[in-house]
Structure 1
Amino acid sequence: MWNRPRFDLKVRLTLRVAAILAACFAAISAYFLVTADRAAHARSDSIAAIVAKSLELQQGKVQWVANPRSDFPNLDPVSAYVMTPGLCLAFRGPSGDILQRFCSGAPVPANPPPQAFAAFYSSLFDPGREAARPVIVRGTKLGEAVVSVDPAVQTAEAWHEAGRLMIALAVALPLLCALVYAALARALRPTHMIRTGLERIAANDLTTRLPPFDLAELSAIRDVFNHLAESLDTALAERAELTRKLIALQDEERRHLARELHDEFGQSLAAIRALASSARQTAAQDCPSLLSECDGIARTATGMMETLRGTLFRLRPPDVEELGLVASLEGLVAGWNGRSRGATRFSIRFDGAFETLPAAVSANLYRIVQEALTNAAKHAGATRVNLELTRRPDEIALAIDDDGRSNEPAAKSGMGLLGMRERVAALRGRLSFEAGPSGGSALRVVIPLEAVDRQILDHAA
Structure 2
Amino acid sequence: MWNWSGSDLKLRLTLRVAAVSMLCFAAIAGYFLIEADRSVRARIAAVADVAARTLELQQSKIQWLNNPRSDFPDLDGVAASVMAPGLCLAFRSNSGEISQRFCGGTQTDTAAPPLAFAALYRRLFDPGREAVRPVVSRGQAIGEAVVWVDPAVLTAEAWHDAGRLMAVLMLALPLLCALVYAALSRALRPTRLIRDGLARIATGDLAARLPPFDLAELSAIGDVFNHLAERLAAALSDRNALTQKLIVVQDEERRHLARELHDEFGQSLAAIRALAASARLTAVQDCPTLLAECDGIARTATDMMETLRGALFRLRPPDVDELGLAASLEGLIAGWNGRSRGQPRFEIVILGSFERIAASTGANLYRIVQEALTNAAKHAGATRVMLRLEMRETASAGGGGEIVLAIDDDGRPGDPQGDPQVKSGMGLLGMRERVAALGGRLNFEAGQSAGSSLRVSVPVAAGREAAFVERAA
- Normalised-by-shorter TM-score class: 0.7 to 0.9
Q: Which secondary structure state, in structure 1, belongs to the residue aligned with residue 101 of structure 2?
A: strand
Q: Which secondary structure state, in structure 1, belongs to the residue aligned with residue 48 of structure 2?
A: helix
Q: Which secondary structure state, in structure 2, belongs to the residue aligned with residue 210 of structure 1?
A: coil
**Cα deviations across residues 429-452 of structure 1 (Å, max 9, x unaligned)?**
778697x5444x647576898x96
Within a 5 Å distance, the mapping from 1:141-180 to structure 2 comes to 141-180=141-180
What residue in structure 2 maps to residue 330 of structure 1?
330
The answer to whether 1:418 aligns with 2:426 is: yes
What residue in structure 1 maps to residue 111 of structure 2?
112
Q: Distance in 1 between matches of 2:354 and 2:309?
A: 28
Within a 5 Å distance, the mapping from 1:150-229 to structure 2 comes to 150-229=150-229
What residue in structure 2 maps to residue 386 of structure 1?
386
What residue in structure 2 maps to residue 103 of structure 1?
103
Most deviating of 268-277 and 85-94 = 268-277
Q: Distance in 2 between matches of 1:97 and 1:294?
A: 144
C-alpha displacement at 1:234, in angstroms? 1.2
What residue in structure 1 maps to residue 70 of structure 2?
70
Is the 1:59–1:137 contact (alpha carbons within 8 Å) kept by the matching residues of 2?
A: yes
Is the 2:413–2:452 contact (alpha carbons within 8 Å) kept by the matching residues of 1?
A: no
Q: Distance in 1 between matches of 2:70 and 2:421?
A: 120
**Cα deviations across residues 202-233 of structure 1 (Å, max 9, x unaligned)?**
44443333344443333323322222222122
Is the 1:343–1:383 contact (alpha carbons within 8 Å) kept by the matching residues of 2?
A: yes
C-alpha displacement at 1:345, in angstroms? 0.8
Structure 2 residue identity aligned to 1:232 = L
What residue in structure 2 maps to residue 58 of structure 1?
58
Structure 1 residue identity aligned to 2:222 = R
Structure 1 residue identity aligned to 2:56 = E
Change in Cα spacing, 1:357 to 1:53, as seen in structure 2 (3 Å) is farther
Change in Cα spacing, 1:93 to 1:389, as seen in structure 2 (3 Å) is farther
Is the 1:193–1:210 contact (alpha carbons within 8 Å) kept by the matching residues of 2?
A: yes
Q: Distance in 2 between matches of 1:56 and 1:367?
A: 120
Is the 1:357–1:452 contact (alpha carbons within 8 Å) kept by the matching residues of 2?
A: no
C-alpha displacement at 1:99, in angstroms? 1.1
What residue in structure 2 maps to residue 347 of structure 1?
347
Is the 1:358–1:459 contact (alpha carbons within 8 Å) kept by the matching residues of 2?
A: no
Is the 1:371–1:417 contact (alpha carbons within 8 Å) kept by the matching residues of 2?
A: no
Q: Distance in 2 between matches of 1:101 and 1:379?
A: 105
Is the 2:132–2:147 contact (alpha carbons within 8 Å) kept by the matching residues of 1?
A: yes
C-alpha displacement at 1:125, in angstroms? 2.3
C-alpha displacement at 1:25, in angstroms? 1.2
**Cα deviations across residues 350-406 of structure 1 (Å, max 9, x unaligned)?**
799988976545433321321332344456654433345689989977544244795
C-alpha displacement at 1:31, in angstroms? 0.6
TM-score by length of 1: 0.78
Q: Which secondary structure state, in structure 2, belongs to the residue aligned with residue 166 of structure 1?
A: helix
**Cα deviations across residues 157-193 of structure 1 (Å, max 9, x unaligned)?**
3344443112211333344334434444444454454
Most deviating of 258-267 and 393-402 = 393-402
Is the 1:376–1:404 contact (alpha carbons within 8 Å) kept by the matching residues of 2?
A: no
Structure 2 residue identity aligned to 1:144 = E
Change in Cα spacing, 1:38 to 1:352, as seen in structure 2 (3 Å) is farther
Q: Which secondary structure state, in structure 1, belongs to the residue aligned with residue 105 of structure 2?
A: coil
Is the 2:91–2:145 contact (alpha carbons within 8 Å) kept by the matching residues of 1?
A: yes
Is the 2:412–2:449 contact (alpha carbons within 8 Å) kept by the matching residues of 1?
A: no
Which blocks of at least 5 consecutive residues in structure 1 are unaligned? none
Which blocks of at least 5 consecutive residues in structure 2 are unaligned? none
C-alpha displacement at 1:139, in angstroms? 0.9
Q: Which secondary structure state, in structure 2, belongs to the residue aligned with residue 167 of structure 1?
A: helix
C-alpha displacement at 1:24, in angstroms? 1.3
C-alpha displacement at 1:263, in angstroms? 4.2
Structure 1 residue identity aligned to 2:342 = G
Is the 1:241–1:426 contact (alpha carbons within 8 Å) kept by the matching residues of 2?
A: no
Change in Cα spacing, 1:52 to 1:262, as seen in structure 2 (3 Å) is same
Structure 2 residue identity aligned to 1:40 = V
What residue in structure 2 maps to residue 401 of structure 1?
409
Structure 1 residue identity aligned to 2:40 = A
C-alpha displacement at 1:47, in angstroms? 0.8
Q: Which secondary structure state, in structure 2, belongs to the residue aligned with residue 163 of structure 1?
A: helix
Superposition RMSD in Å = 4.6
What residue in structure 1 maps to residue 255 of structure 2?
255
Structure 2 residue identity aligned to 1:125 = F
Q: Which secondary structure state, in structure 1, belongs to the residue aligned with residue 146 of structure 2?
A: strand
What residue in structure 2 maps to residue 372 of structure 1?
372
C-alpha displacement at 1:68, in angstroms? 3.6
Is the 2:435–2:456 contact (alpha carbons within 8 Å) kept by the matching residues of 1?
A: no
Within a 5 Å distance, the mapping from 1:226-375 to structure 2 comes to 226-264=226-264, 306-318=306-318, 320=320, 325-349=325-349, 359-375=359-375
The answer to whether 1:84 aligns with 2:92 is: no
C-alpha displacement at 1:32, in angstroms? 0.5
C-alpha displacement at 1:49, in angstroms? 0.3
Structure 2 residue identity aligned to 1:206 = L
What residue in structure 1 maps to residue 21 of structure 2?
21
TM-score by length of 2: 0.76
Change in Cα spacing, 1:352 to 1:234, as seen in structure 2 (3 Å) is farther
Quick one: percent identity of the two aligned structures? 62
Change in Cα spacing, 1:313 to 1:145, as seen in structure 2 (3 Å) is same
**Cα deviations across residues 307-328 of structure 1 (Å, max 9, x unaligned)?**
4443333222146467554443
Q: Distance in 2 between matches of 1:452 and 1:131?
A: 101
The answer to whether 1:41 aligns with 2:41 is: yes
Q: Which secondary structure state, in structure 2, belongs to the residue aligned with residue 6 of structure 1?
A: helix
Q: Which secondary structure state, in structure 1, belongs to the residue aligned with residue 121 of structure 2?
A: helix
C-alpha displacement at 1:91, in angstroms? 1.2
Is the 1:53–1:135 contact (alpha carbons within 8 Å) kept by the matching residues of 2?
A: yes
What residue in structure 2 maps to residue 138 of structure 1?
138
Most deviating of 384-393 and 370-379 = 384-393
